[in-house]
Amino acid sequence: MKFWKQAILASAALLVAVGSAGAQDVKIGFVVKQPEEPWFQDEWKFAQEAAKEKGFTLVEIGAEDGEKVQAAIDNLGAQGAQGFIICTPDVKLGPGIVAKATANDLKLMTVDDRLVDSAGAPIEDVPHMGISATKIGETVGQAIVDEIKARGWDMAEVGAIKVSYDQLPTAVDRVTGATSVLEQNGFPAANIYNAPQAKTDTEAALNAATTVINAHPEIEHWVAVGLNDEAVLGAVRATESVGIPAANVIGVGIGGAESAINEFKKPSVTGFYGTVIISPKRHGYETALNMYEWIANGKEPEKLILTSGQLATRGDYEAVRKDLGIQ
């Protein structure tokens, strides 16, 4: 009897030991398309917080193109990772990413940019956390409308720079959300000028916006929208480069990471009026935690989570960040 009791206790202890050793062996990849962008730096930072809290290893990988994505997934497989979260450089890589993850026996979740299949439809099987793109775009549009009114501009004479990146569905939804609110409030559709950017960074947006501004020297007042802060900052820099004063420009971005905050901290006001702050904490910490729960405890993540945003300007961004727990 005593023997059995001891044996049972011993094996229970062994199980506990094996269980906790297993948890410590969890390794999760966090792959992002633009590692230099502050938003992605923040996502990594918060994902590392989850890793520290739960005792798993988080491997940060930047993958700017399809080849790097493939290599990253193989690499994670070879390192003995059990899963990864990715913001892909190209959503059309979807089927390839799914196949590579499966081949390497890795669980897969996406963040920010949702994978699409060969027909362009979202791959719904892969758990995804994105932003409520249309709604956030609408918040951008409303902020611009309110500020146009506050400055007493004649809506009919304002030009809008729409920095676009149409191969990314969330980008389309964001800018369409913004321009639809402009139009609903009497902004002439003909005054909304498309500025397609080749890449989703400030330089590409500056180039795209410069073309639009140069084509319309008659316009004195400009507003600018885009998929993120970098896009809108590019448009604002373009207005500055041709000498349009900040008081004549209303740019509202999306993100609220360092690029936007630095702008608000400048001693004099710029044309970057505001940003809709989204949460890198939810996108970094929560996705990493959800992946951990999936690997360690078999708890499947929700298939789709869309997070919200909150408008912030020079005057209140600190309070808004605090409210979102991201300072």
3-class DSSP state of 241: helix
Contacts of 294 (CB under 8 A, 6+ apart): 83, 107, 109, 300, 301
Site mask for ligand FCA (CB under 6 A), range 81-110, x = bound: ------x-----------------------
Site mask for ligand FCA (CB under 6 A), range 213-252, x = bound: --------------xx------------------------
Q: Which amino acid is located at 165 in the chain?
A: Y
Cβ atoms < 10 Å from Cβ of 1: 5
Q: Which is nearer to ligand FCA, 27 or 162 (CB)?
A: 162
Binders of ligand FCA among residues 52 to 81 (CB under 6 A) are none
Closest CA to 31 of 2, 60, 68, 52: 60
Task: For residue 255, state whether it binds ligand FCA (rule: CB under 6 A).
Answer: yes
Task: For residue 42, state whether it binds ligand FCA (rule: CB under 6 A).
Answer: no
| CA distances, 63 to each of 86, 161, 223 (Å) | 9, 29, 33
Task: For residue 113, state whether it binds ligand FCA (rule: CB under 6 A).
Answer: yes
Task: For residue 39, state whether it binds ligand FCA (rule: CB under 6 A).
Answer: yes
Task: For residue 38, state whether it binds ligand FCA (rule: CB under 6 A).
Answer: no
Residues paired with 82 in a beta bridge: none
Q: State both tokens at 292.
A: 């951990």
Among 47, 86, 93, 131, binds ligand FCA (CB under 6 A): 131
The single residue listed with the structure tokens 């498309």 is: 194
- Shortest approach of ligand FCA to residue 297 CB, angstroms? 27
Q: Which residues bind ligand FCA (CB under 6 A)?
A: 37, 39, 87, 112-113, 131, 170, 200, 227-228, 254-255, 278
